[in-house]
Structure 1
Amino acid sequence: MNRVVSAARLHTIGGQSISVPWSVLVSALAINFLIFGTIQAGDGIDEDPTTGGLLALYAVTMVVFIQAMNKPLSFALGFGLTRRTYLFGTALFALALSFGSAVVLYALYGLEQATGGWWMDLSFFGVVGLGEGNPVVAVLGYAAPMTALTALGALTGGINARWGLIGVYTAAIVTLIAGGVFAVIMFYAHAWTSLGHWIADQPSAALFAGYPWIVTAVAGAGAYAVVRRVAA
């Protein structure tokens, strides 16, 4: 267990794995303040503005875990850590980062609510219908998608570490083909409307705090299978 913790701590060296995603988020927030503040000072906005700037934190976090399966992995193996230990340590760091970020995001959401949307009716940290009055569900709703993206990032990085860019391109092409086949099947089965209704009927807690764990499990298992066979 101590070696797993040590592997997790490798990701905190230099602090970039934490500081870079949050620096991007702060930049996105500042840009939104500038844009919507300028609009409010002019003609104003008829409806409460909502922005997708929060996605920047999630996207960059995924990139961090793509990178974690390359040079940091080689560094860890050079210091005698096994691939299995490194993967478990990475998973531990991913959970700590996701839930730590979720707590901070929920606190910022509370501040956003208390200030009337940063004094400009801006919704930056809020997710519609997520955990209304239930902090546990809300924190899970912030954490689960991030954890899923860390697993997808680790899988993508593992594919790159094992097979290089050819492997990444091949995986992307296979994914696109599978998506296209699924779309065709859904079209001829006249099932798109039913799928849309099903998604619309799902509570926000299920969409954000529940289903992403399925992605985490599948992508995490894939990353484990691929990285275990990466050459030292």
Structure 2
Amino acid sequence: MRYKSVVTMHTVNRMQTYGWPLVIMLIAIAFTIAIAIGLTVHSVSDAEGVEGMNNGMRFNGAIFTVLGPIVMLGFISMGQYFPLALGLGLTRREYVLGTSLVFLGYAVVFTAIVLIGKSIELATDGYGLRVRFFDVAYVGFGPLWQTAIQTFLIAMSAMLVGAAFISGYFRWRQTFIWSFFITVAVVGLAVAILSMRSFEFATWFGSLFALDWWAYMTTLGVVAVVAGVAWLVLVRRTQLR
């Protein structure tokens, strides 16, 4: 039952756990509305202009003020709390179990926040200003159940990838970092060259960004599973120095 100590470790700093993400989110919402008011007053003078503003906000990145802290939790869990947990005598298994429960809890809470925010936006037609914060492409335009699945998978994938990445760093140190970035650079360069030299490849690669919703969700699920397995394997073999 000592995994409960891991949960407590992750949540003991209440401001870091609950406060700052919500504060940042509220500031971002206010900032988004302020921008919308400014655009409406200074630039938009008819219904067509307002509709254009509303459609443009489909890709409003303010939602990442909420997603950003979630992404960082995976890195923090291994970089900050894992060494502390082992130093306190907790086993790796207990740490993984407790941290997994924390990840699950964060994902559920984050999903609930997005669902509530999106519901309010839809009910009030963008707070009466036709603005968007939660009803954006990154968490889906479909019904609320689709938004719930997409948001949950994004949160879990981000945290598990972050935890796996730091575990890889602990295992292989600078070799892992250099290998990762070199691999990304080589793959990116190869894709760019092939896209310029082959119209068929460019067409195929572009089609990857036009997959249907279920294909994207399947991809997110695979990423979460692969990252989770990698994290479990690496945690067992990670040696702190």
Q: Does TM, scored on the shorter chain, surpass 0.5?
A: yes
In terms of mean alpha carbon deviation, does 180-189 or 37-46 score higher? 180-189
Q: Give the conservation status (yes or no) of the 8 Å contact 1:17–1:64.
A: no
Indicate yes or no: 2:110 matched with 1:101.
Answer: yes
2:120 maps to 111
2:207 maps to 197
TM-score, with structure 2 as normaliser? 0.82
Instruction: Specify the code of the residue in structure 1 equivalent to 2:231.
Output: A
Structure 1 alignment gaps of length 5 or more: none
Q: Give the conservation status (yes or no) of the 8 Å contact 1:87–1:224.
A: yes
Indicate yes or no: 2:3 matched with 1:8.
Answer: no
Change (3 A) 1:58 1:103: same
Q: Give the conservation status (yes or no) of the 8 Å contact 2:135–2:141.
A: no
Instruction: Specify the code of the residue in structure 2 equivalent to 1:30.
Output: A
Q: What is the aligned-residue identity percentage? A: 21
In terms of mean alpha carbon deviation, does 140-149 or 178-187 score higher? 178-187
Task: Give deviations 1:167-200, integer Å, cap 9, x for gaps.
Answer: 3243222222233334445655522213423542
Indicate yes or no: 2:72 matched with 1:63.
Answer: yes
CA distance in 2, matches of 1:21, 1:152: 20
Indicate yes or no: 2:91 matched with 1:82.
Answer: yes
CA distance in 2, matches of 1:181, 1:18: 42
CA distance in 2, matches of 1:160, 1:182: 26
Instruction: Specify the code of the residue in structure 1 equivalent to 2:234.
Output: V
2:181 maps to 172
Change (3 A) 1:180 1:28: same
Task: Give deviations 1:19-52, integer Å, cap 9, x for gaps.
Answer: 3333332232222122222221222244114111
Shift of 1:144: 0.6
Shift of 1:139: 0.7
TM-score, with structure 1 as normaliser? 0.85
Shift of 1:228: 2.1
Tell me the number of residue pairs that the alignment of Structure 1 and Structure 2 aligns. 228
Q: Tell which structure's C-alpha radius of gyration is larger.
A: 2
Change (3 A) 1:42 1:124: same
Instruction: Specify the code of the residue in structure 2 equivalent to 1:35.
Output: I
Q: Give the conservation status (yes or no) of the 8 Å contact 1:137–1:205.
A: no
CA distance in 1, matches of 2:65, 2:88: 33
Shift of 1:166: 5.3
1:54 maps to 63
Shift of 1:4: 3.2
Instruction: Specify the code of the residue in structure 2 equivalent to 1:192.
Output: A
Q: 3-state DSSP class of the match of 2:19?
A: helix
CA distance in 1, matches of 2:208, 2:177: 32
Q: 3-state DSSP class of the match of 1:54?
A: helix
1:29 maps to 29
CA distance in 2, matches of 1:154, 1:22: 23
Change (3 A) 1:132 1:174: closer
Q: 3-state DSSP class of the match of 1:80?
A: coil
